[in-house]
Structures are given as C-alpha cells and as structure tokens.
Amino acid sequence: MQLGTRLQSVIGGRTAKALEEDLGLRTVADLVHHYPRRYVERGRLTSFADLEVGEHATVFAEVVRSHSEMKHLRNRPKPVKKTDVTLRDAHGSHLRIAIFGKWNADAELRPGRQALFWGKVTVFREAKQLQSPDYQLVDDDQGDRVGEFALPLIPLYPGTAKVSSPLVSTCLGLVLDDLEVGDDPLPAELRAEHGLAGLQEALRLIHRPADWAEHGRARRRLVWDEALVLQVVLAQRRRSLQQQSSTARPGRPDGLLAAFDATTPFVLTDGQRGIGEQLAGELALTRPMHRLLQGEVGSGKTLVALRAMLAVVDSGGQAALLAPTEVLAQQHARSLRTMLGALAMAGELGAAEVATRVALLTGSLGTAARREARAEVASGEAGIVVGTHALMSEGVEFADLGLVVVDEQHRFGVEQREALRAKGQAPHVLVMTATPIPRTVAMTVYGDLEVSTLSELPRGRSPITSHVVPLHEHPSWVGRVWERIHEAASQGRQSYVVCPRVGDAEDPKQPDEEGRRPAAAVEEVLPVLAEGALAGLRVAALHGRMSPDAKDEVMRLFVEGHIEVLVATTVIEVGVDVPNATVMAILDAERFGVSQLHQLRGRIGRGAHAGLCFLVTEAPEETPARERLEAVAATTDGFALSRLDLEQRREGDVLGAAQSGRRNNLKLLQLLRDEEVILAARTHAAAIVEADPELAAHPALAQAVEAVLAPERADYLERS
C-alpha cells in the first residue's frame, strides 16, 4: 500500500470521512504519521487524576463492580441495556461509568477484568465521568491478548467525538502490515552514521512498539525526519537570500555615523563595538545581510541598530525601524531624535552640517500628519523611519529602503518581516529580540538568520533584586511594597505597578477560564492606591486601550519625572526605557509567563540606582505557579529563564506563534530534548543543500520538503 493512497479506498467510507473531518487525515501517509500521544503499559493502570475535563480520553482501568439492567430511555421505543461499571485506577481511585446498549457488557466487564475505556471527560455531581463511554477488552477470558491490543505497550491516540483512540488503532492495523514507503527521505549515509532505523520500520514501531527500546528507536528516527526537513527548508531559504543582490552600504568617513560617534557620550560596550563592526562589514557587501541580534534586556541593542542605520543613510539609503507597539515606536522616535540631536534636524534651524530626519509612522496619525510623514519617507528626506505595522501599509513608499530593522522580533511573524522587506530592493535586514532564546529555538524559528549575541550590559547598569511577596502566607507584606515605593519617590525616583488587566467596560470583572478570581486591573487598582497606600504621590495609568495621544502624553510626563508611579498593563513590557524608575510591583504575578516577567522587570535597574522588583502573588507555596515565580526571583539570567519558559510551554506555542504553518510538521521534535539532533541536522542540511541545492539526488527528501512548503505558501498567499 502506497503512502499517497486515499484512506477512502482502504477503510470504510464513513470512517474515512470521520478521520478526515475530525483529524484532517486523508491519505495513508497522514494516518501513519498520526502518532500516538502516549502509551499505556499493559498491567499499569491509568491515573484518573490526570483526566482533563472536556478532552476525549482513553483510560486503561480495572473493573471493580458492574451491574446491568434494562432501562427505558426517552426517544427510544424499546428498553436498552444499561451497565453501571465502577473502574479502579493505578492509585485505587474510582470512576463510575454507564454503558448503554451493549448486550454482553456485564459478561465481559466482570470484576478484575482490565480494559481500555474511552469517552469525553465531563463532570457530573462533582465527580469526573466519561460521557457515552465505550470499551475494548485487551485480554480474553483466559488472559490471552486480543487483536491490535496484543502488545505490551498500548498506543493511545488523540481522540475526538467520532474517532476514538481504538478506532485509529484499528485503521492503522489495516495499513501498517503491507505499507510501502518507497524511497527513504533520509540519505542512507546519514542513517548509517547515526544508526537510524529505516522509515518503514520506524513507522511500524512507533505504532506497535514491543517495548520502550523499540519505541525509542522509532522516535529517534522520526525526529530526524522532522529536524532534517526543517533544516533543509531553512538552508534553502538562506541560500536563496544569499543569491539576491542588494546595494552595498559601506558608509563614508565624513558622514552621520562618524559625527555621531564623535559626539555621543556613550562608551560602546565591547559587544556593541564588535557587532557594530560585523554589521558594517556585511552592509558593505552586495549580498543582503540577514542577521538576528539577540541581547539581554537593556543590553543596548537600539544603539547598535542606530549605528547601522546611520551607515546606511551615509550611503544614500534609508532605514526603517519596525516596532511592535505604538508606545515603543513613539519612544524609539523620541530617543533616536534625542540621541542624534542636531544630526536629526535636517532642514531645521540649528541642524548639523550633515543631517537627516527621523520620521514616525503609526496607525493613529491624523491625516495631515500621516501625509507629511509619508512625503518625507517618499522623498528620502527622512533617512530613518520609525513605525508600527503601519509602515507596511500600501501607501508607504520609500525613496530607497536599504535596511529593515525589526525590534522585538518575537512579536512579529516572518510574513511581516517579508512585507517590509518587499518595500526595498533586497534590503539588508537586522532583527532584534530581547527574549533570549536557546540555541535550538534560534536555529528553528529564526533558522534563516545568522545570529549575533550581545551578552554584556553597558557599564553603570545596576543590579535588580527580586522578591516574591506571598499574600497567601503573609497578607501584610504587601504594605512593605507600598513603603518602598514611597521611599523611592522621596529620593526622587519612580516606580511601576503592573496589573494583568485593564479593568474597563470591555474587560469586566469575571472569573477567568480556570475559575480564578479576576486578576488585578489598572482601573480598579489605581483609585484604591491613589487614595490609600500611595496617597500623596503622583500616580497615573497607562494601558493599551488609552488613545495613542493619551499614552504618549503619560509616557512623556513619566519620562520627565512628573509622574512618580505608573500603574500599567504589559504595554510597558517591551523596550520602555526610563532609567530613573527603580521599583516595580507586579500584582498577581503568577498570571504572567516567565519571559514576560523577565521583560517587565527589565524596565527597572536601567540607571545608576539598584532595581527592586516585587512579584506579588496569592499562589500558595509548592504550587508550580509559585515555583515559577521563585525561579524568576532567583536569577536575572535571561537565557536560564527562557529555558525554563520553554520547558513549561508546548513546542507548538513557541513555534506556532513565530512561524505559521510549520507547527503541523513538527509532531515529535522537542526543542530542548532533541537539541543534539537539531544541531546535527543543521550541519547535514547545510552540506546537502550546498552540494545539491535543488535536491536532485534526493527525490524523497525533496518531496518531504515540498510537503512542508506547499501549505506554507498557501498560508502566505492567503494572508497577503
């Protein structure tokens, strides 16, 4: 049976339809690549405690009691046999289910029998139950194993209402035995070098492992498929980028960059200097630069970007700086203008001899302002253009876009980067992220980019101390937080109070999905603090639902020191830079992710004074939420925290957010666990693509690559 065969011609039409509708499986290949979510070991019962309400679950359980009777049901003319069964799990917990319409259920489900049971997990009278459950015996009366379930490891598949895990098993039984996989996408030398199973064997073993060793062998091989295909895609993309030709932007000795370097009070860190030289070298080539600059929060990426932008302007081109939020775009424009001073005042009184302009383009500009900004961009008067996604809109035309800088890249998708790139002739690209990412993520999510890392913080940066404030055990401690904010204010310094919610009409007080009380909200917390614990201080709100002008005004007042305490949502999370702010209190801190907390905390300790961060929480001791906060409090090492973050999130979330379409192709690959495979696959992929860019000698691999690219292209077309 070929991989391309439609399931319709192999299994019953109705089942094939259900597989397609519920799981998107259309071909034999789709089915055999639908891997088990987990396996139950024969004799090792499931734990009922893990059952999640709402999921379609399969459990391996033992019958404790069963009892049948005939029942009249509404809508049924004849009585139906109802069998009440009590199941026991690994820990002796019980689960009661009722099976309808199975004439021999009581005979089969005698106490002591073990079987697979499945159904949707619901709650009835405060106890979990399986809704319309069904079952499959895995032993016959004599304890002999039956059918597809004869193995010591029983595969469990992600189920749906119409497609249960055992049904998937049964369908696989129909295709696995005479499967013909054709050519192996992994080159034979590679398989030999890494001792990998063949595809046919791996597919059989992933579904029917006799033991964990066989499962491991299958998984290792199939992980390699995913890793290699992905890395080949990325290697091809890098290659095609390198073949484009762009304009060299070598700068000039008497230009803006030289003038800036001569007047700036900053002493570049070694990292800023080194990466600056690297960028200058690449900008001077006719091959487009494609580089990711990652650096710890506060490491001074903006300055590195500014110097690259100046080199491009000195070469007659323009640079665009794309920011994820309006607040950040405004701040960038403001701080670039401040840093450049007279160098950014072209056409104005007091401009330097060589000068340019910084334009700001955001979605909220009024018509006149927008027209003016666009004109400056189109004429080339503005050498530097800062903006939000409004930069990508149709009416925006550049005179000569030479460099695209994307700030906080983790907030953008690849498509957005591409959309802005399309405004120039193969411009150079620099993307920056302050969310430090483990190496394998960089290679997977940003695999088409070369990576530079800025690890050192500028001199004069102060340490941040973080404390968890556990309201559960010590409700009174929050009082000390407000005292520290008062102390800071009395020393002329400023503070942030961060809340998870805005709390206005669009965001009313309601328990969240998990039934927790509503989290602290800016609009509810602010009046209480202003009249209570923080009375006497100048307090203001900042959140995403304020008008852009209002946001800008509040930020300006805060920057200038007229506001002492900013009660804000995560709008301040990225990039906000007020060195005089030293204290931060994050309320209901457990509602934020690890990376987010790290980013938020990066807003303080940016000046000469030490930072103090309070993670206020009601999460009780020894809960995972609380342990996460303790971990954040214990280290300011962004890389360590990003690893922790990744361990706690699902791969799909990480990859899916950054790279559309790709998610479906990574079923087994785990970025941390499979680090070595990813690294090795990258090397192999680079060698393969270099020797044979079109994969002419690797038809099966080419096909696998195409299978990844086709939906991605469709996705891209759909959105653009």
Determine phi and psi for 391, rounding to 5 degrees.
Answer: -60, -30
CB neighbour list of residue 311: distance below 8 Å, 6 or more residues apart: 249, 250, 251, 255, 257, 279, 280, 283
Name which of 166, 150, 136, 135 is nearest 209 in CA terms: 150
Q: Which stretch binds Mg ion (CB under 5 A): 198-206, 241-249, 509-517, 567-575?
A: 567-575
User: Rounded CA gap, 596 and 594, in Å?
Assistant: 5
CB-nearer residue toward Mg ion: 234 or 434: 434
CB-nearer residue toward Mg ion: 155 or 575: 575
Instruction: Determine, following the binding rule CB under 6 A, whether residue 272 of this chain makes contact with ligand ADP.
Output: yes
CB of residue 577 vs ligand ADP: minimum separation in angstroms? 4
Residue 665 Cα distances to 84, 207, 464, 651, angstroms: 42, 18, 41, 12
CB-nearer residue toward ligand ADP: 583 or 685: 583
Partner whose footprint covers residue 577, from Mg ion, ligand ADP, none (CB < 5 to 8 Å by kind): ligand ADP
Indicate which single residue of 232, 279, 297, 539 sits in contact with ligand ADP (rule: CB under 6 A): 297
Adjacent-strand bridge partners of 497: 567, 585
Q: Which 3 state secondary structure label does DSSP give 583?
A: strand
Adjacent-strand bridge partners of 618: none
Chain residue at closest Cβ approach to Mg ion: 575
CB of residue 542 vs ligand ADP: minimum separation in angstroms? 18
Indicate which single residue of 381, 456, 577, 715 sits in contact with ligand ADP (rule: CB under 6 A): 577
**Per-residue DSSP letter, 636:** -
CB of residue 546 vs Mg ion: minimum separation in angstroms? 22
CB-nearer residue toward ligand ADP: 58 or 435: 435
By CB under 6 A, the count of residues binding ligand ADP is 20
Return the structure tokens found at 674: 């499979």
Which residues between 337 and 376 bind ligand ADP (CB under 6 A)?
none
CB-nearer residue toward ligand ADP: 277 or 397: 277
Residue type, 329: A
Instruction: Determine, following the binding rule CB under 6 A, whether residue 303 of this chain makes contact with ligand ADP.
Output: yes
User: Rounded CA gap, 470 and 472, in Å?
Assistant: 5
Instruction: Determine, following the binding rule CB under 5 A, whether residue 575 of this chain makes contact with Mg ion.
Output: yes
Chain residue at closest Cβ approach to ligand ADP: 300
User: Rounded CA gap, 159 and 169, in Å?
Assistant: 11
Instruction: Determine, following the binding rule CB under 6 A, whether residue 267 of this chain makes contact with ligand ADP.
Output: yes
Q: Which stretch binds Mg ion (CB under 5 A): 149-157, 463-471, 574-582, 630-638?
A: 574-582
Return the structure tokens found at 37: 């979510």
Alpha helices in 43-126 (DSSP H): 105-108
Return the structure tokens found at 199: 């595809």
CB of residue 496 vs Mg ion: minimum separation in angstroms? 17
Indicate which single residue of 50, 91, 122, 266 sits in contact with ligand ADP (rule: CB under 6 A): 266
Q: Which stretch binds ligand ADP (CB under 6 A): 130-138, 238-246, 265-273, 352-360?
A: 265-273
Partner whose footprint covers residue 298, from ligand ADP, Mg ion, none (CB < 5 to 8 Å by kind): ligand ADP
Instruction: Determine, following the binding rule CB under 5 A, whether residue 579 of this chain makes contact with Mg ion.
Output: no
Partner whose footprint covers residue 165, from ligand ADP, Mg ion, none (CB < 5 to 8 Å by kind): none
Name which of 208, 447, 424 is nearest 322 in CA terms: 424
Residue type, 241: L
Given a contact cutoff of 8 angstroms between Cβ atoms, the answer to whether 558 and 566 are in contact is: yes
CB neighbour list of residue 338: distance below 8 Å, 6 or more residues apart: none
CB-nearer residue toward ligand ADP: 302 or 318: 302
CB of residue 306 vs Mg ion: minimum separation in angstroms? 11
CB neighbour list of residue 246: distance below 8 Å, 6 or more residues apart: 286, 287, 288, 402, 425, 426, 427, 428
Residue type, 381: E
Helix (H) or strand (E) holding 234: helix 212-243
CB-nearer residue toward ligand ADP: 159 or 638: 638
Q: Which stretch binds Mg ion (CB under 5 A): 186-194, 421-429, 572-580, 611-619?
A: 572-580
CB-nearer residue toward Mg ion: 299 or 356: 299
Instruction: Determine, following the binding rule CB under 6 A, whether residue 108 of this chain makes contact with ligand ADP.
Output: no
CB of residue 267 vs ligand ADP: minimum separation in angstroms? 6
Helix (H) or strand (E) holding 140: none
Instruction: Determine, following the binding rule CB under 6 A, whether residue 300 of this chain makes contact with ligand ADP.
Output: yes
Partner whose footprint covers residue 266, from Mg ion, ligand ADP, none (CB < 5 to 8 Å by kind): ligand ADP
Q: Which stretch binds ligand ADP (CB under 6 A): 126-134, 290-298, 632-640, 688-696?
A: 290-298
**Taking CB under 6 A as the rule, which mask of x and - marks residues 417-456 in contact with ligand ADP?**
-----------------x----------------------
Alpha helices in 60-141 (DSSP H): 105-108
Which residues between 545 and 564 bind ligand ADP (CB under 6 A)?
none
CB of residue 631 vs Mg ion: minimum separation in angstroms? 24
User: Rounded CA gap, 538 and 17, in Å?
Assistant: 64
User: Rounded CA gap, 193 and 616, in Å?
Assistant: 52
Q: Which stretch binds ligand ADP (CB under 6 A): 365-373, 422-430, 574-582, 703-711?
A: 574-582
Name which of 326, 243, 261, 230 is nearest 661 in CA terms: 230
CA 577, 582, 584 angle in degrees (round to 5)?
Answer: 90
CB-nearer residue toward ligand ADP: 490 or 635: 635
User: Rounded CA gap, 108 and 131, in Å?
Assistant: 20
Instruction: Determine, following the binding rule CB under 6 A, whether residue 268 of this chain makes contact with ligand ADP.
Output: yes
CB neighbour list of residue 652: distance below 8 Å, 6 or more residues apart: 663, 666
Binding site for ligand ADP (CB under 6 A): 266-269, 272, 295, 297-303, 434, 458, 460, 575, 577, 579, 606
